[in-house]
């Protein structure tokens, strides 16, 4: 009998350690998911033909899913409001000093609602104008020492339910190729 009790105790302890991260992150009954980022990869021109700089945007496909799959009826308190985002940059070669190897991390506010069990797209500014005026991106203008650099942007979204309960954070990654591309653009594209 003692052996059976010990086996049962070991089984219970091992199952307790098998909880998925999305269940432990946030107190909400729902989870925020980043389903896709477009365009991916993103091509970023560090200067347009007039010498000006333009920001770059990405469309983030997000979804609201219940943590407990047995709950089938979406409820108003389960709606999610995405209220903040962060973008940080890294490179595959391991170099990552902000302002030297990669642009400085950025953050911003949002106000985007996702009703229970729904999905939607939100536009995020992933490269701001000032990042193109500072190293390392400014060094790409007119081939000033470098010609092209590929980086990755990690986009993290923060949200709450409509009742104010924090959800999990959701993260997606986007490849960005930066260069001073030859073009005849005189104005920034609209997002």
Q: Which residue has the tokens 């409509």?
A: 162
Residue 37 has pLDDT above 60, yes or no: yes
- Rounded mean pLDDT of 170-183? 93
* Average pLDDT of the segment spanning 165-178: 95
- Give the separation between CA 50 and CA 52, rounded to whole angstroms: 6
Q: Inform me whether the pLDDT recorded for 123 exceeds 90.
A: yes
Phi-psi region of 51 (alpha: psi -120 to 50; beta: other; left: phi over 0): left
Q: Does residue 12 sit within a domain?
A: no
Q: Please check whether residue 190 lies inside any domain of the structure.
A: no
More confident residue, 146 or 80: 80
- pLDDT greater at residue 102 or residue 13: 102
Of 84, 98, 60, 45, give the one whose Cα is nearest residue 166: 84
User: Is pLDDT above 90 for 72?
Assistant: no
Give the total number of structural domains in the chain. 1
Residue 62 within a domain: yes
154 within some domain:
yes
Q: Tokens 């269940």 sit at which residue?
A: 23
Average pLDDT estimate for 65-77: 70
- pTM score, whole prediction: 0.82
Lowest mean pLDDT among 3-17, 31-45, 69-83, 106-120: 3-17
Instruction: Report the C-alpha gap between 87 and 126 in whole angstroms.
Output: 6
Domain residue limits at 57: 24-179
CATH of the domain at 84: 2.60.40
pLDDT digits (tens, 9 = 90+) for 21-34: 545 566 788 899 99
């Amino acid at each position: 009998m003692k052996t059976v009790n010990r086996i049962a105790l070991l089984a219970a302890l091992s199952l307790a350690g098998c909880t998925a991260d999305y269940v432990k992150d946030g107190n909400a009954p729902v989870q925020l998911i980043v389903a896709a980022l477009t365009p991916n990869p993103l091509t970023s021109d560090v200067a347009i033909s007039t010498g000006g700089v333009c920001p770059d945007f990405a469309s983030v496909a997000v979804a609201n899913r219940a943590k407990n799959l047995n709950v089938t009826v979406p409820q108003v308190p389960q709606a999610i409001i995405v209220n903040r985002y962060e973008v940080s940059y890294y490179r595959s070669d391991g170099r990552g000093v902000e302002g030297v190897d990669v642009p400085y991390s950025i953050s911003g506010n949002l106000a985007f609602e996702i009703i229970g069990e729904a999905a939607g797209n939100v536009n995020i500014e992933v490269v701001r104008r000032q990042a193109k005026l500072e190293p390392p991106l400014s060094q790409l203008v007119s081939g000033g020492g470098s010609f092209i650099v590929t980086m990755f942007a990690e986009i993290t979204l923060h949200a709450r339910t409509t009742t104010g309960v924090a959800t999990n954070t959701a993260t997606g990654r986007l490849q960005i190729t930066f260069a001073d591309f030859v073009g005849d653009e005189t104005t920034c594209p609209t997002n």
